[in-house]
Amino acid sequence: MTNPATVSGMLSDGTQFSGERRRLINLTLATAASMVLPRTGYALSIAELSDKDADMGVKAALERGAVIAISLLGKQDGFWANERVRIPLPDWIQKFERAIKVLGRSKDVEAMKLAVNRAAEQAVPQAKPLLVAAVRAMSPQDARAILTGGDNSVTKFFQEKTQVALGQKFLPIVTGVTNRIGLAQQYNSLAEQIQQTGLVKLPPEQQKVESHVTRKALDGLYFMIGEEERKMRQDPAGTGSEILSKVFGAVK
């Protein structure tokens, strides 16, 4: 019987080689192919993703982003210690802060800066059921649109589906917090006093501090969800999730 190691072959240029050399060449070619070709089960492009995979991947991404954003914001200093989402006082207070100090109310202004953020921090955890429900009600068409819609498509989806309902959910919570910590009384008293000077006439939406806090809390929440979306799109493998790696890897 012929020893395979001694079997000879010939390359296209006429060079002869042994069976052992043939084996090494084949092994090298196979290794190179495995490095170039995708692993089985991973799509090459969005077009090759099944509706089921796209739907599962996007829903997983949205729920993950929402939960992480809530966990980051819905705790003490979640807003206050984060310059990107820290809630400022309404524009009229900032504009007339010097006049307010003349009125002897500077301590109230400093206290309010922290209080508006504390109110938002306590409201945000209530967003989770509504955000999760919006994700689970998503259609396959929504999922495809989000997948191909760019870095802020998740944020836009949540704003469209949840902004009104979350505003209604947040407002009574914020109102309760502002009343409990004295923020509403401070704000209303200051607003009345500054208006009596004739320096400013407040529009209706700025006459109540809870409306300002609610709007800014929602802005901060959607911003943080958008940040999580951006991270997932840039490094889907870093999520540690196979379905996220598969689906968002196809977008890259």
What pLDDT, in 10s, does the model give residues 151-173?
A: 788 888 999 999 999 999 999 99
56 and 26 housed in the same domain: no
Residues 191 and 73 in one domain: yes
Which residue's entry shows tokens 């993703």?
49
24 and 61 co-located in one domain: no
What digits encode the pLDDT tens for the residues 122-144? 999 999 999 999 999 998 888 88
In this prediction, residues 48-55 reach a mean pLDDT of: 80
Same domain for 193 and 135:
yes
Mean pLDDT, the chain, integer: 80
Same domain, 103 and 146: yes
Q: For residue 206, which amino acid is it? A: Q
Q: Is residue 198 part of a domain?
A: yes
Residue 75 is part of which domain span?
A: 49-249
At 197-237, the pLDDT tens digits run 887 787 776 778 999 999 999 999 999 999 998 888 888 88
200, 108: one domain: yes
- Same structural domain, 29 and 147: no
Query: Could you give the percent of the chain with pLDDT greater than 70?
Result: 81
Q: What's the number of domains the chain is made of?
A: 2
Residue 42 inside a domain? The answer is no
Residue 181 vs residues 28, 87, 150, 238: alpha-carbon distances, Å = 71, 17, 41, 41
What H or E segment, with its residue span, contains residue 130? helix 128-136
Whole-number pLDDT of residue 252: 63
Amino acid at 90: P
Q: What is the mean pLDDT of residues 73-85?
A: 97
Residue 41 lies in a domain: no
